[in-house]
Amino acid sequence: MEQLISTKAEIHPDAKIGENVTIEAFAKIDKDVEIGDGTWIGANATIYPGARIGKESKVYPGAVISAEPQDLKFQGEYTTVEIGDRTTIREYVTINRGTSAKGVTRVGDDTLLMAYTHLGHDVEVGNHCVVSNSVQLAGEVVLEDWVVVGGMSAIHQFCRIGAHSMVSGMSGVLSDVAPFTKVFGLPVAYMGVNLVGLRRRGFTREQIDNIHEIYRAIYQQGRNVSQAIEYIQAYLDPSPEMGQIINFIKESKRGIVKSALGQTATVES
């Protein structure tokens, strides 16, 4: 297939460009960059060394990918940014490459990063995520698959956002957000199960009811989280969703968010 590359684009001779790639005027593609087949790079996008961009993705004007991390501990070590297939990176998104902490900043497949979003060093964004305008992800944040983050939200360093959860716009996330939930506020609080999102993704009524029962035990029945986990494992029917929630909570290093009513939501040893 033919490459559609503007003569006004600046492309390093060592860059690896796939087939049927479009690169518009004044885009800059540096050395040690790989761009997969069918990807479109808009005018004035800047892609620095270490970028690996998959197939059929789109990078809009003004985006900056794989710039050095904004981390004072960074000492020039070799690190990368990896972006999956069919992912869209809108205007003026900035994605910093990794540091020695993880070595890579990663964005999955079929994900949308809207305008002015920032991904700090060593961030991991999963598949099918939507990160809305002006969201700021600090270093080493993890977004699991199917996460939606509303516009102008900020997520604190090291926080983890569980799969199929939703962070409402203009929120501040200081703790981990458990899977299948929706949160809102500054700092965010648990506002219920992400019912609309789960229905859109084909979860059955039985699955959703089971998820509701688990979070009632955690947030609405007066238990701390350790007690809630004991109750859930003893009295509720096992399911893949239950295992996913319990494993997430047990692995949480920052604790999960509190409820809107103020109950604590951290595991006690």
> Catalytic residue numbers?
121-122, 139
Distance of CA 180 to the CA centre of its chain: 15
Judged on CB neighbours under 10 Å (0-12, 13-18, 19+), 168 is middle
Query: Which residues does 174 contact at the CB level (< 8 Å), separation at least 6?
Result: 156, 159, 187, 188, 254, 257
H helix and E strand count, the chain: 4, 28
* Tokens describing residue 116: 């002015």
SS3 label, residue 112:
strand
158 neighbors 177 (Cβ within 8 angstroms): no
